[in-house]
Chains A and B, each alone.
Chain A
Amino acid sequence: MNGRPPRSLPYESVSVGDKLPGLEVPVTRTLVVAGAIASRDYQDVHHDPELARERGSPDVFMNILTTNGFVGRFVTDWSGPAGVLEAIAIRLGAPNYPGDTMVLSGEVTAKLGPSERSGSRGVVEVAVRGANRLGDHVTGTVRVGLPMGRAPDPDTRSSPEGTVEGTPGGTAEGMAEGMAEGSPGALA
């Protein structure tokens, strides 16, 4: 990863209604256990299938800290590394059991203006949903601060599928619209 140039979405290029590229998360026992232990969560339902069953669950299931991690990753995968997470609020529904796949989708729901934390960032609100075959595992709202107040540098990506290069005459809004349409990974 060393030397990878930070390419991040500027605040001005984002529009309400923009879809985030989808993210599929295959849920495995390894993931459930790795996430639980990495977050120092030693509740047995997150690592011991037998004890999980005794507690009425068919298998181990993902802990909420891991879900939080995926929600954060999902948004910064889109924003790029200069996107600074300011808040994550999630609600859990159907558990993430091994063998299932969680599909994360998201949409920009508001542009909130300059961040209270830093005037060089503008805050965007994203609605996130992670669904598995049992229903919605997670629904939530994320606020992320994006760089603002400067022209997008040519290295700046508009989405993982493309960059804003080659649209020097376009407005930020125009780029954002094009981005939304051109994001095949985006899920409604």
Chain B
Amino acid sequence: MKENEPRKIAFPRYAEYNCAIKYILEQGLGAKCIVPPKLTRRTLELGARYSPDYACTPFKTLLGSMIECLEAGADTLMMVYGLCKLGYYGELEEQILRDLGYEFDFLNLAVYDTGKKRDFLKAAKFVNPRFSIRKLALAAMDAFRMAEYLDEVTGELYQNCGFQVRPGGYEAAYQTFLNALYAADTKAEIEVAHQAVKRAFLEIPIEKPVRPLRVGIVGEFYTAMDEFSNLEVEKKLSGMGVEIHRWMTVTNRMIHYPGEKNLNVKIRDLSQYEMGPTSTANIWAARQYAERGFDGLMHIKSANCTPEIDVMPALQAIAQQNRIPILFLTFDSQSSDTGLMTRLEAFYDMIQMRRKVIQ
């Protein structure tokens, strides 16, 4: 890295949230953000080749994406941490990449998690020694707003796109929206993109029954949200004519999280304490869906995700108490589209036939 030149910093692909990360890095810290290429089978193969086999699949996907970021010209990589094995992933990924001979600076946010919030400013300093706190705070607020809009619009997409009269309208409007978010440099541009997609969605004709089939998705923080990692499960299922609800999003978990204690009140009979980053929220969400009379539940996790394995018995209990079908899906680097389609079609047939009998 040359003096006085902004860092070319990259965060591995995480669903579509990279647009918000890009916004903070560029508008808040004055760095140049390299947006990682879309995840493909090559990404996963690259990651799986250099990862320990028993790491969870997101580790492999993230590692592959980091390699693709470096190939795209990034000189600095950034990694977050979390309440599961994720806390150690940054360190491990850095070591693997260095062993492979890549040269880069590494910003591992886990290092700055000292218990004192102000230590995170050191991370900002690492990106840009002359950053302005005011600019960073403003950009962070805009980026949060961007992520909120992204989650809101994505949710609306999968609740409605299965019922559009002519296929493709929702997807096209959504893609335009994403492009606008990645290109946005100001708060005004974010607001305009949001208004435009809402208007576009309203104009798309849909034919939705009064009580459509509804499926609630719960699951792991990466695989449940990233459409490459879950083989587009939401797109496939909604395309059959199902309204899909997924509470688990980045903004719901990180910004609007009601707190473990508040959620636990509703599920104390099933779980007394937090078992991982998302377990309480997932059990709580599943119970919400079941009690609201949804037609089915779906649990999505990657292979070797320990916290989500712990959630499964509680979900089984919810399914039995509320007599609601639940489908458990596990994804790894070998998962096939065909196998997923078989299970989804069967799930759809089941909830549809079941609905006819119940009513």
Q: Do A and B come from one complex?
A: no
Which B residues are within 8 Å of any A CB, using their own CB?
Answer: none
Residues of A participating in the B interface, judged by any CB pair closer than 8 Å:
none
